[in-house]
Structure 1
């Protein structure tokens, strides 16, 4: 199945309807006590010190490491997992790129922009999509059970974070991780998604002090 004739928003919506029953590579729960990457730890400190999440569940996406961390509204880690992110590095999205068909996106436009985003579960797909920039067609979603599933699972298993750069901009996670962590924590109500930069200094987005 190909979604190249759809915009990023439409393609993400289609993925929500293409569920797969495979539960491989679930990710880690909080009981696994994973260590946050340096940038993720800095972002978490920034969020908690300012209570920036405003009593909402939130996620931190580390593009450089190809990882996602999901926290409850009290800032407690619910789980972490490898995640697929935009194919290209870069922290700023171009205006209007969300309205282009996927096939029209250049390699440089297939990026996951950095920043703080208010997230909202999609009401029409039983929270199978967590939008964090609806206008740009960017969301957190699970892998689809189409022809891309096997190669993308291979990418998720890769020890090289560069191997997890493959999407048109969305953040894709394993099916079981979405079902057990993302949906119950971020899928119930509005939340926040913090996407860490991979080209600009982290202090540009999460300033110290």
Structure 2
């Protein structure tokens, strides 16, 4: 559910938010559209593919074999989703189409579809070769490519299609306060996250009592 609603929010965001003079003027259910429902399901498939790759890396035997069989199907589904979103987005939003097919955005964006095909092929091939870590890494690369395409499409609008990041920015004093807090907290978060991954770095083994 959290994945689905995250995708729902993403779809509503891509569709754009109606504002007048910086004030929201849309309806209460503007977020609920066929496209936002589709992006909700898309994010579920995306996270399922990532989870499948992670289970291949972290498990063995029967469960790992099931994930090796399932992951190519999820990757094909993910590729179809990328194609559908890539076709719908410029057709439904002429501003995004202009950004995609004008310079310098076209130069930045053109490698994305090629790399998506490449990493999808490599991930499927890694599953067939029963590589344990590469399917997850290649899927992670697909996630990065998807969000890079998303950023290229919407930049510099933080509230599409009318409010830019510069117009929505907080005062410099507030930004400085947030920066100081981030410089303190982010290293702490990275340290305890890295520690948790280090503690649970081994596989979950059948019949084992736990991590050693």
| TM-score category of the 2 structures, normalised to the smaller one | under 0.3
Kindly name which structure, 1 or 2, has the bigger radius of gyration based on alpha carbons: 2
TM-score by length of 1: 0.22
* Richer in strand (by share): 1
TM-score in terms of structure 2 length: 0.22
Q: Which has the higher contact order (CA 8 A, sep 6+)?
A: 1
